[in-house]
Amino acid sequence: MREVHEIRWMSFYNSLNAICRSWKALCKYFQSHKADSSRTKGLFENITDYKFVCCMYLMMDIIPSLAALSMTMQKQDLDISSVRPAIDGIFSAVDQALSSKSYYQQLLHTSHMKKDVKMKQVTVQGVKVTVSNEENIREAQKSFGSTRTSFLKSPKDQLDRRFPKKELKVATSFQALGLRPLSFLSRENY
């Protein structure tokens, strides 16, 4: 398992990707060892929570785009014309996720998740997922819908503030003046 660092998008993506790809195996492991310790039991309960699973799939739709933007912005020879497409890619990913038509959300709801409303049971990849006691499946879906909206609103608002379209049009226009990428040097290098 990889450690997640607070502001390193690539590290966060790698950790999230590892958890998502091995989620079923993690569930089986924690389930078979939950009697060993309260920590293992707690981890099992956390990763089999309905909202956790939905958030994990939602983040898999968004975090790769944020990691790609982060890598683009950290390049030593930043090609200014590549900034706008990277930001537009995030806006597109957010819009798709808001409409529930993003890749991982579609994967979750069309093939990975099975719901039995009468039995009040949800399984994901064959693993029983817990819906909190106060909620039924429909209420849990509605609750996650509001969580999804508030989660996605934050990066979109931050990008709008940090990269207003008007300023980016001016910045990307400078790319036409040079045949090579612009390089932003530190004070020590010039």
| 3-state secondary structure string across 74-129 | CCCCCCHHHHHHHHHHHHHHHHHHHCCCCHHHHHHHHHHEEEECCCCEEEECCEEE
Number of compact structural domains in the chain? 1
What is the Cα gyration radius of the chain?
A: 21
Judge whether 183 lies within some domain: no
Could you identify the residue written with the tokens 């293992």? 40
Judge whether 142 lies within some domain: yes
Judge whether 173 lies within some domain: no
Which residue range(s) make up the domain with 106? 9-161
Give phi and psi for 127, each to the nearest 5.
-100, 130
Judge whether 3 lies within some domain: no
Question: How many residues can be counted in the chain?
Answer: 190
Residue 180: its pLDDT value, please?
A: 53
In the predicted model, residues of the chain with pLDDT beneath 50 are 2, 4-6, 174, 176-179
Residue 181: its pLDDT value, please?
A: 55
Strand partners, 49: 130
Judge whether 188 lies within some domain: no
Judge whether 182 lies within some domain: no
Tokens coding 49: 């929570």
Gap between the Cα atoms of 187 and 172, Å rounded? 23
DSSP 8-class letter at 145? H
Judge whether 2 lies within some domain: no
- Average pLDDT of the residues of the chain: 81
Locate the DSSP E strands across 63-129.
113-116, 121-124, 127-129
Residue 4: C-alpha distances to residues 8, 108, 149 (Å)? 8, 24, 24
Residue 134: its pLDDT value, please?
A: 63
Residue 5: its pLDDT value, please?
A: 47
Judge whether 144 lies within some domain: yes
Residue 137: its pLDDT value, please?
A: 82
